[in-house]
Homo-oligomer: A and B are copies of this chain.
Amino acid sequence: MSRIPAGLWESLIAVQVYGANTGVGKTVFSTLLGAHFSQRSGNTKWKVQYIKPVSTGPLDEADDAYVRRFTAQPVTTLFKFKDPVSPHLAALGAKHLVSLAEQIDEHLNHTLFAGLEKHAKASWGHGIRAIAIVETAGGVLSPGPSGTPQADIYRPMRLPTILVGDSRLGGIASTISAAESLIMRGYDIDAVVCFDDKSKYGNAAYLKTYFEKMNIATFDVPWIPNLEGIGQKEEVDKMRQYYTTESRAGHTGNIATRIIDRHFKRLTEMNEMASRTKNIIWHPFTQHKHIEKVDDVLVFDSAYGDYFQIKHTPNSHQQNGLKDNISHLYPAFDGSASWWTQGLGHGNPKLALEAAYAAGRYGHVMFAGATHEPALTLAERLLKGLKNPRLTKVFYTDNGSTATEVGIKMGLRASCKRYGWDAAKDDVGVLALKGAYQGDTIGAMDASEPSVFNQKVDWYRGRGWWFDYPTFKMRQGRWVVEPPVGMEEDFGPEQQFEHMDGIFNLESRGRSSRYESYIEKTLDRLVKDQGRKFGALIMEPVILGAGGMIFVDPLFQQSLVRIVRGYNFSPKFEVVPPQGTNVHTWTGLPVMFDEVFTGLYRLGRFSSGSFINVHPDISVHAKLLTGGLLPLSATTASESIFQAFWGNEKSDALLHGHSYTAHPIGCHVANVSLQTMADLSSSPEWERYEKDWRNSYPDEMSRSSSLDVVKEQDGKERGTWSVWSHEFVLHLSQHTSVDYVNALGSVLAVSLKDGSGSGYSSSAAIGLRDALLYRASNTKVQIHSRVLGNVIYLMASMTIKPEHLADVEATFTEKLDMVSR
């Protein structure tokens, strides 16, 4: 997972040449292309650079010597191995398992451009340009020295690609398969080149037709001369003659023109995308009046691992304007995990292949009255992972908002049915927390208190009551649980804890009579005094996400569930489950957990509800469900919820179901993602993260005996921990500009001081956000982040490497210092 810029320069075209197999003529074609460019007619003079990242085989036969001989152009081989075997074997025991992509980037940016520097200001059409021909080794997926298939190794640069087809018998199949392997890794194929041996196989003709349908240009190149049985001198002469003739031939020129045209087209499109977007796209959650400049729209070329590849703007680096010899793209850490969805990295080839498998096996198949393996397996996997004995059913929809609507429909129907309310007339609301946000559709919005999000949604009707609650955080190096401002009387004074685990150690904290009596008092006022009706309790366990990354005291959430489940919400009924039910039947009100953001390993555990030791009757899952690839959501329910929709009439049923309900691609990718994340949860990396946090506890703490822990699938017991280092979090909490910090799982939330005291206005977070993205030339990494009011947060995928996290931490600290000055 490299962090180099994708390769798109103004004065350099770098193309990578792949072969459909080994021995198909990659080197001959690369030589031909180099020879052509070095003498190409027109106003532009081309400086040709041939790069062979890895070469195996006897040195005197090496491709670079060969190319140098016939093009008289500079040639660079980064790694040479003597054995004519696959590089992963040749490199066995070798120490330099460095990132090949980084080496190429380094070479292109620094070595190559040195000779171009003086021409950097030359404009297109009459200056000097460079073409770098990066010739890969073997086939598309031949392993590099590290053992990773080279198409994966080079993916971070995402260079435009030439595929040299295989003209031998069987070559049609291997050429198309090779193209498919490139395409599913997100490469753009500029051209397929077929050596036309005029043989009976006719591969070139077939491939031309086939690739035309895929909008991929194919070109014929005359076959390499027959060199059998002739001496070395003759061979050289013959090949020199071949290169001389063919490099000037029209077909070679056409290929070169295609490469140049595609390069210009890409540059032009990248340059126009922001303004085209500004014209036509209505962005989510965006006040368009605030997009003042075209450059306010970030243009994503692509993404890989934890990094976007973003088009440079004048603001995005410290130089005065973008120089020709710097890639027009820069990598930026995806600090919001693409709106909290990202789990297994952008451009993940495994997920791409699995998505294609489900598309190839099913496409989409309708789900009413039917079943298919991915949806069934996912439902079973979800219920197994949640370890909640109440939950027995899974209902699929498309996103967190629709899944929440389904949960609300479930909860309300169950309570209205039991209590005999007619919600068409009666006003039946939900109980929830202040600042909670459950989604953008109107039904989900109605479950939130009136706020800036919904104040101008004309059909919004807040339906419910939203509780105040204490929150927890690290401030000045200490973990505290704080009452809401001015409510010490209800919630008690600030409580201090030695460590985060202490806050979650609900067993040792015991029941809070203060919390419980506050909740009961509130309910009495609402239900008994005012006669209000409520149909469900809805909560995001642990963290209120969109509400501002608010970390709620888990003891309060536990208390709320306990009281609600024992409370009598209808004067006509006793607080006992109906006859013929069991311990898993809901009492009081159905309890629904919105785990859309917090669940599925975002906080380190499969279920975020497990942090508060409560089993809800309904739970809602989305975002990380597909590992961050595409929309899918699930609402789970207990049998007693399900039974509320059981009846003779179809109108008794849950009449909800989007067209793409349980679409096989989403379900299959979800299965693969959840399995991958489960594997990660028992990996040494996660072990290390946890250890880092555990080591921060005071010595006397016998953690394993005092903490409510969850047995994860691998049998490991995990407390509370974060991928963000304890030292970093501690340091931030003591920073003069920081009010408080939270970190749990892959989430980091930093609340910046605002207002009078510190010289900060509420724009502090925005200032830091901008500093993180821009002006980063001296820092390790540029960071794309999102803010919620005064809170700036960061999130990582589950697969990020610790050294990348360390760089993000260092940069964050540096930029925080910078904007605090």
Contact = CB atoms under 8 A, between A and B. Distances in A.
Interface in A413-457: 413, 416, 421, 423-424, 428, 439-444, 446, 452-457
A630 interface: yes
Highest count of chain B CB atoms <10 Å: which of A358, A416, A456: A456
A497 interface: no
B440 A402 contact: yes
B83 A405 contact: no
Contact of A362 (B169, B279, B302, B458): B302
Interface in A315-372: 334, 336, 338-342, 345-353, 355-372
Contact of A174 (B174, B365, B409, B460): B174
Interface string A136-148: 0011111100010
Interface stretch (A564-572, A656-664, A719-727, A756-764): A656-664
Interface stretch (A287-295, A499-507, A600-608, A692-700): A287-295
Contacts of A336: 366
A371 B642 contact: no
A89 interface: yes
Given A274-B371, A371-B299, A658 B401 contact: yes
A170 interface: yes
Which of A355, A452, A666 has the largest number of chain B CB atoms within 10 A? Answer: A355
A408 B169 contact: no
Contact of A630 (B375, B393, B394, B666): B666
A542 B692 CA distance: 64
Contacts of A299: 370-372
Nearest to A302: B361
Contact of A140 (B177, B283, B339): B177
A355 B665 contact: yes
A45 interface: no
A280 interface: yes
Interface stretch (A64-72, A200-208, A577-585, A813-821): A200-208
Contacts of A201: 85-86, 89
Given A285-B655, A651-B455, A629 B363 contact: yes
A208 B139 CA distance: 18
Interface string A273-316: 11011011111111111110000111111110000100000000
A281 B443 contact: no
Interface string A631-659: 10000010000100111111111111111
A289 B647 contact: yes
Given A368-B286, A442-B446, A650-B290, A629 B665 contact: yes
Contact of A631 (B349, B352, B663): B663
A44 interface: no
A429 to B, nearest CB: 9
Interface stretch (A182-190, A237-245, A609-617): A182-190
A562 interface: no
Given A365-B338, A399-B660, A458 B423 contact: yes
A23 interface: yes
A456 B652 contact: yes
A375 B303 contact: no
Main secondary structure, interface of A, reads mixed
A149 interface: yes
A771 interface: no
A176 interface: yes
A442 B441 contact: yes
Contacts of A441: 401-402, 405, 441-444
B282 A372 contact: no
A811 interface: no
Contacts of A645: 287-288
A820 B542 CA distance: 61
Nearest to A200: B85
A21 B359 contact: no
Task: Choose among A22, A274, A460 the residue with the greatest number of B CB atoms under 10 Å from its CB.
Answer: A22
Interface stretch (A223-231, A376-384, A681-689): A376-384
Contacts of A463: 459
Interface residues of A, number: 175
A447 to B, nearest CB: 9
Contact of A370 (B181, B300, B364, B653): B300
Contacts of A365: 300, 303, 308, 334, 338, 346
A277 B399 contact: no
B459 A423 contact: yes
A298 to B, nearest CB: 4
A169 B658 contact: no
A180 interface: yes
A165 interface: no
Nearest to A383: B280
A492 B469 CA distance: 64
Interface in A244-288: 269, 273-274, 276-277, 279-288
B371 A273 contact: yes
A136 B170 CA distance: 12
Contacts of A661: 284, 339
A473 interface: no
Contacts of A346: 362-365
A7 interface: no
A630 B665 contact: yes
A21 B376 contact: no
A623 interface: yes
B360 A352 contact: yes
A170 B23 contact: yes
Nearest to A633: B398
A677 interface: no
B282 A654 contact: yes
Nearest to A83: B200
Interface string A16-28: 0000011100000
A622 interface: yes
A387 interface: no
Given A177-B181, A186-B361, A287-B645, 12 more contacts: A86-B201, A184-B359, A187-B361, A298-B371, A300-B370, A302-B361, A338-B363, A364-B630, A401-B402, A402-B402, A442-B446, A456-B652
20 contacts: A138-B170, A187-B360, A269-B373, A273-B371, A274-B371, A279-B392, A280-B379, A280-B394, A281-B371, A281-B376, A287-B649, A288-B642, A288-B653, A339-B368, A339-B657, A348-B359, A348-B363, A459-B463, A630-B663, A630-B666
- 3 closest pairs, A vs B, by CB? A284-B657, A139-B173, A442-B443
